[in-house]
Amino acid sequence: MLTRMRAKDATIYGTKAANLGEIVTANLRGVSVPEGFGVPFFYYAQHMKQSGLDAKVEALLREPRFKADAPWRKKALEELRAAIQAAPIDPASLDAIYKRVRLRLGGRGVFVRSSTNSEDLPGFNGAGLYDTVPNVVGKKALGEALKTVWASVWTLRAVDERDAFGIDHRQVYGGVLVQVGVNATAAGVLVTKNLYDPTDVLGCHVYPFPTTPPPTPPR
């Protein structure tokens, strides 16, 4: 659970999930984080190995066309993602993850979010590179959502962005953050960039809009 996670756990669950654990533990006034838990990198690695897709990834990365031929790379990545989603998830692993949804989150609908080891990092935020599956209810749907998020490690946008920053694809692992879905009246995204320094990292921040006007500041 997020209440038991700390920043040091990023090597197991990814930075996004680990940092949320820190926020929950800080118990800051006025800050509310939906309940949730992290699914470790282990389950992604297990899925890739059991299905033989780890070998497929290695073959793709060794293929000269992977870097040199953008249309070929796009098609190859589409096929890889489809294979990751089509491969059967380990039944015992899915049982264990769904059990946590039932017992810890009351079986409520959840958002299945990415928490890789290649996002939310100093100098590389990775905003928008990986997928989220909303409103997931039931064990079967959870299994499909997990595979969808794992597959998004290999979106074209993620691969190209990691290439641009010199990140080794072989060292990227798909962790997952499972959180209770909450009703939102509105939300927004603020994108910031230093127009005078192209080396400054793009930032993407999501803020909820208040449902009531803020108090009028004193004159």
Cβ(173)–Cβ(162) below 8 Å: no
CA angle at residue 89 from 83 to 90, to 5 degrees? 140
For residues 179 and 183, give the distance between their C-alpha atoms in angstroms, rounded to a whole number. 13
C-alpha separations of 79 from 44, 50, 56, 156, 158 in Å: 18, 18, 10, 11, 15
**pLDDT one-digit tens code per residue, 26-60:** 787 877 778 889 999 999 999 999 999 999 999 99
C-alpha separations of 207 from 27, 79, 188, 197 in Å: 19, 35, 5, 25
Q: Where in the chain are the domains?
A: 2-183
Whole-model pTM: value is 0.82
CATH number for the region 2-183 comes to 3.30.1490.20
Point out the least confidently predicted range of 6-15, 27-36, 119-128.
27-36
Within 8 A by CB and 6+ apart from 57, the residues are: 48, 80, 154, 169, 170
Amino acid at 125: N
Cβ(146)–Cβ(139) below 8 Å: no
Q: What is the pLDDT of residue 40?
A: 94
